[in-house]
Amino acid sequence: MDCIQHFIDAIKGDLPPDHELQKHVIYPGIKWDGRLLYIVDDDTTGQKIMMDLERMKRWKKTRYKIPHMRIFKNLEEVAETIERDHHAECAKYNPDGTLKDRPNSERPEAIRLAVMPTARHRSRRPAVVPRLER
């Protein structure tokens, strides 16, 4: 129970003090391996909420940031999300269990497109930004 309380404290610690979920009884049901992504049960409302602590956004134009949250409509939607993630993870491996080679676009030395603002027009235009090799 101490481990679960640790997760609850960590999740609520990432919420602003006056956020409505601070008053709710939440229980972490699922944590993605290697990522700060939780599916929590909100016992107050009976909803299942996916909280992505890697994707934070500003809360009500304040200095606080909250995790990206997705409220599931039903348990089937939760199961679909888990199944989709499972298939994506399995697709990374060869049949013999070794990791597949990454495509060129995912390699660190690849050239990537970036969106850079221009000072004159305040618009965004794509520019090619090469990655520096070390």
CA within 13 Å, CB half, 2? 0
Query: Which residues lie closer than 8 Å to 121 by C-beta, 6 or more apart?
Result: none
Look up the domain containing 117 and give its range: 1-134
Q: What is the structure's pLDDT at 62?
A: 85
Nearest-angstrom CA–CA distance, 70 and 65: 16
Per-residue pLDDT of the chain (134 residues; tens, 9 = 90+): 677 888 888 888 888 888 889 999 988 888 877 788 888 999 889 999 998 888 888 888 888 888 899 999 999 999 998 899 889 888 888 888 888 887 655 555 544 444 444 444 444 444 454 555 55
Give residues with Cβ within 8 angstroms of 91, minimum separation 6.
Answer: 100
Contacts of 130 (CB under 8 A, 6+ apart): 111
Structure confidence at residue 106 (pLDDT): 57
**Residue at token pair 């602003």:** 16
Q: Record the tokens describing residue 2, joined without a space.
A: 């101490």
Query: What is the tally of structural domains in the chain?
Result: 1
**Predicted model pTM:** 0.63
